Amino acid sequence: MRELSLHILDLLQNSLEAGANRLELEIIEDTKQNLLTITVADNGRGMDAETLRRVSDPFFTTRTTRQVGLGIPLFKAAAQRCGGDLVITSQPGTGTRVVATFQWDHIDRAPLGDLPSTLLSVLLARPDCEVRYRHRVDGREFAFDTQEIRQALGEVPLTHPQVRAWLEDYLRQGYAELYHASEDGQG
Amino acid sequence: MPKIKSLEELRKLREQVQSEITTRTETGTTIIIGMGTCGIAAGARETMRAILEELHKRNIEAHVATVGCIGMCAREPLVDIEQAGKPRITYGNITAHKVPRLIEEHLINGHVIEEWTVGRLAQQ
């Protein structure tokens, strides 16, 4: 896939399919250590050791609509191509955590891309699911938490057209701000 | 932490829309986009983005939802349009550039674009 945020969307969709109602996405870009770390954690049904062993096999899938599952193998290949790796830990009944690492400046590393759209896709998939997103680029950080949003909104749903537009703007601004040249010293 | 837009705006928005939400959630239009691995790889996220943009541009208030893989992977991106009192129409291969025509013909003119459909579901 052309953007890492598309792989992230795929992982988050997996979490939803696994019945999760709490998703956490953490992205840490540390240019000094030349490391990009993407973590997706959920409280879905989790996997046993046997399933976990087979999940990187493209000819394994739990879905019934088709016989191949390319999501994880593709993401793993992308990480390994960039001097990194993808590690999954999971506990049945507790949840799953996927950690992907990349050499930050590797020539083959795809850009993160349109991460706000990825998050919006997930918010529109299961509006009752809690989503927490934290993104750090060296000293800068942007954090987003649906619990906070819900508190401000009360009974108005996240999917309301006007709220949806607000969320999109909010995510886009926060994300863009992470990469602004810092003129104000320490934020 | 950058808080350029503040949650205070959201509280104001809440008061604004509170009065009308019941009618809006129960009637009107819902657009559903398939977002499994197959959909994502075929450009479904960009399709979603184009749909949101087009709705905004034309000032149409519709609900937008995403779902996982429904099994017609070869026809992704799949977009369903559901309108009160009408059958639910499934459109296939809706890449972002087809979105303006889709919104114009289906939502504004009320015509189904037959050559793009892959199925329809009678109203329940």
CA atoms within a 13 Å half-sphere pointing along the CA-CB vector of A159: 22
User: What pLDDT score does B1 carry?
Assistant: 46
Residues of A in contact with B40 (CB under 8 A): 1, 6, 9-10, 13
Model pLDDT, residue B5: 75
Residue B20: closest C-alpha in chain A: A156
The answer to whether B88 and B123 are in contact (CB under 8 A) is yes
Q: Which two tokens stand for residue B106?
A: 């289906």
pLDDT value of residue A121: 95
pLDDT at position B52 = 96
- Band the pLDDT of A186: cuts 50, 70, 90: very low
3-class SS shares of chain A: helix, strand, coil, % to 5: 35, 25, 40
Q: Which residues contact B6 (CB under 8 A, 6 or more apart)?
A: none
Work out the average pLDDT over A75-96: 94
Q: Give the tokens for residue B96.
A: 């972002």
Residue pair B11/B61 in contact (Cβ under 8 Å)? The answer is no
Residue A161 touches partner B, C-beta closer than 8 Å:
yes
User: How far apart are the C-alpha atoms of B14 and A6, rounded to whole Å?
Assistant: 31
Range A3-24 average pLDDT = 93
Question: Cα(B31)–Cα(B107) distance, rounded to whole angstroms?
Answer: 10
A45: helix, strand or coil: coil
What is the secondary structure of A115-157 as a DSSP string? HHHHHHHHHHH-TTSEEEEEEEETTEEEEEEHHHHHHHHTTS-
Dihedral sign, CA of A121, A22, B73, B120? negative
pLDDT of residue A75: 93
Q: B15, B79, B77, B18: which is closest to B44 by C-alpha?
A: B77
List, edge to edge, every strand of the sheet that includes B117-121.
B63-67, B29-34, B79-83, B88-91, B117-121
Give me the pLDDT at residue B107, please.
Answer: 93
Work out the angle at residue B77's Cα, subtended by the Cα atoms of residues B73 and B79, and round it to the nearest 5 degrees: 115
pLDDT averaged over every residue in chain A: 90
Query: What are the residue ranges in chain B where pLDDT is below 50?
Result: 1-2, 23
Average pLDDT over residues A8-24: 93
Q: Is the pLDDT of residue A65 over 60?
A: no
Cis ω before B77 (30° cut-off from 0): yes
Best residue in B29, B40, B60 for a mutation probing chain A (most A CBs within 10 Å): B40
Tokens for A172, please give them. 């886009």
- In chain A, positions 101-160, which contact chain B (CB-CB < 8 Å)? 114, 117-118, 120-122, 124-125, 140-143, 148-149, 152-157, 159-160
Query: What percentage of chain A reaches a pLDDT higher than 70?
Result: 89
For the stretch A118-175, pLDDT in tens is 999 999 998 899 999 999 999 899 999 999 999 999 988 899 988 999 999 999 999 9
**Helices H / strands E in chain B, number of each:** 5, 5
The C-alpha torsion from B33 through B38 and B40 to B44, rounded to 10°, is -40
Tell me which of A21 and A58 has the higher pLDDT.
Answer: A21
pLDDT value, residue B2: 47
> Could you give the CA distance from residue B37 to residue A14 in angstroms, rounded to a whole number?
9
